[in-house]
Structure 1
Amino acid sequence: MADPRFAVVAVRLAGLAGIAFGWRPDDFWRATPAELAALVEAGAPDMAMPPPDAALIARLQEAFPDG
């Protein structure tokens, strides 16, 4: 099973953003969830999801704490 820690998943998403959008890692880390969602929706409108709200982010942080 893949490592579910937030940091590991975020690094994978940064790599995918590089492949899909030509972003460097710094571009990914400076982008907001809404900016990333806008690009995903433009590229695949049927697959886009809304960016996470504050409550979801808090639940994820609780479920996957950093170190």
Structure 2
Amino acid sequence: MSSFDWPALMRVGLVGLRLSPDTFWRLTPAELRLMLAPVGAGGALDRAGLEDLMAAFPDTPKAKDPDHGGE
């Protein structure tokens, strides 16, 4: 016997999220859980997190280092 309420889960995925049956069945449990989580449930981005993102993905590319294959 399954502990999942499959009819309810399928209703949420197919009707609520408007997923195609193929897309619904290809989701992992983690992906479905993420899609069903309230917006912002992952916590707010703090200043340190923002700075890490800005360093990893700068608005302008860093200058190339001529000693390491740059022009």
Same fold (TM over 0.5): no
TM-score scaled by length of structure 2: 0.42
TM-score scaled by length of structure 1: 0.44
Task: Name which structure has the greater RCO, CA cutoff 8 Å, separation 6+.
Answer: 1
Structure ID, larger Rg: 2
